[in-house]
Amino acid sequence: MREVVVALLPMKGHSERVAGKNLRPLAGRPLYHWIMDTLLQCRSISEVVIDTDSEEIVADVSRNFPQGTIRKRPADLIGDMVPMHDIVARFVSEHPHGDVFLQTHATNPLLRPSTVERALETFAADEEHDSLMSVTEWRTRLYDADGNPLNHDPDVLLRTQDLSPIYEENSNLYVAPRESIMRTGRRVGDRPLLFPLDRMEAIDIDEEFDFTLVECLVERGLSG
């Protein structure tokens, strides 16, 4: 029997670093519309749930994406300091159906439907890991705060392309079955499968620079 995949898209009305970013226009459309279009194009996803504390977002979703399910965020989970783990775990514990849960953000506008489908297929075929998270691969000389090299030997100046890669959790895509989330209370389990993304596709809008960068890419037709 085919597993039921539920996508969760959390969105706050308030944003500290980029004001009102979820509804802010990107190339003439509210930012979150981009990821909603991506999720709704994925045939593997049975339901897209928007979890929000914003009546403005609720109204916009109702007008533009009637296919989506709106979930009002519980009062005790509203605030800038609430961990995303808590929001995801509560949602999964209260949602009546769904075998596998995918979570992404409105701030990932360049994520492609084909990539989401590939992530779900990759995880479904895997038997060793309890979750999947998207990562960005870096092959560059990195140091810790004390100046100690992390991934290279300063006495052996390898070409950067020959360095062992280090992976950054890029906050684009998380996939986990209900059992893993309920057992760990996290969207990332104890044995996550790393799923590398193209660096351009993996851009996550955290700061004004990121928004400007994505705008430039979209305007130049380089967003995929």
Question: Domain limits of the chain?
Answer: 5-136+168-219
Cβ pair 26, 211 in contact under 8 A = yes
Q: 4 burial class (0-12, 13-18, 19+ CB within 10 angstroms)?
A: middle
State the maximum Cα–Cα separation within the chain, in Å, rounded to a whole number. Answer: 60
Whole-structure pTM value: 0.92
Of 1-10, 108-117, 123-132, 166-175, which range is least confident? Answer: 1-10
Query: Which of the four pLDDT bands, split at 50, 70 and 90, describes residue 1?
Result: low
Indicate the fold that domain 5-136+168-219 takes in CATH: Spore Coat Polysaccharide Biosynthesis Protein SpsA; Chain A (3.90.550)
Nearest to 133 by CA among 153, 88, 111, 103: 103
**CA-CA-CA-CA torsion for 210, 211, 212, 216, nearest 10 degrees?**
100
Across 33-151, the runs of DSSP E, i.e. the strands, are 45-52, 69-72, 100-103, 131-138
Residue type at 1? M
